[in-house]
Amino acid sequence: MQEEIRLQKYLAECGIASRRKAEEYIQEGKVQVNGTNVTELGVKIDPNNDIVYFNNKKVIKKNENIYILLNKPIGYVTTTKDQFNRQTVLDLIRGINKRIVPVGRLDMYTSGALILTNDGDFTYKVTHPSHEITKTYVATLRGIITNEEIEKLRSGVEIEDYLTRPAKVKILKTDTERNISRIEITIHEGKNRQVRKMCEAIGRNVIALHRSKIGNITVKDLKIGEWRYLNQTEIRTVIGF
């Protein structure tokens, strides 16, 4: 007999959202158990006997979690639906009959590593700053970057009244003829358009941005627009167990 579990944990296991987001949905009155609205946290359910609804749709427990690594192309938005009918990253994933969502975001003009899954707890562990999952980017900048500017990025820069945490930064290439620089920058945070804003804070415009790695998971063997399943070793490496 399966033990009772907290409602938010069940929603996360079913891929509805991360546990923290599921708590918000409960408090907003979007979740029902056996036909009754539940708005208080701490409620436990029996997954074998209780029927849970989210937004008036029955929640189905998934028997298998899916973890996909996509090498996102430029021009796709990182969402499941887009109000402007732009192409989304889900348009690149074919043959999956379960609901998956992107883990975090890459802006429309950034390419590279993006994980999609139906595991809400995994999403929380990857995106929450307390777990300090690194994200590595390769940025092509206008102009020849200086060592002083690199040190500023390493130490932390102010963006929108927020001081970024120390980052790992190294110069990959400078091209005086084309007047560009290419740097690799690794951060733990995931603020909106953070790398672009960090570079702007030192007076450099980003002309191309690619996320090469999430933790130790790289897209170097994936062509742009291709995807593959993560293996169990990669999954354990990312979430630290």
As annotated, the active-site residues are 107
Buried b (16+ CB within 10 A) or exposed e, 92-128: beeeeeeebbbbebbeeebbbbbbbbbbbbbbbbbbe
Among 20, 106, 114, which Cα is nearest to 71's?
Answer: 114
Q: Are 59 and 52 in contact (CB under 8 A)?
A: yes
What is the rounded CA–CA span in Å between residue 77 and residue 102?
10
Q: Are 115 and 190 in contact (CB under 8 A)?
A: no
Q: Are 184 and 169 in contact (CB under 8 A)?
A: yes
**Angle of helix 194-201 versus helix 147-155 axis, rounded to 10:** 130
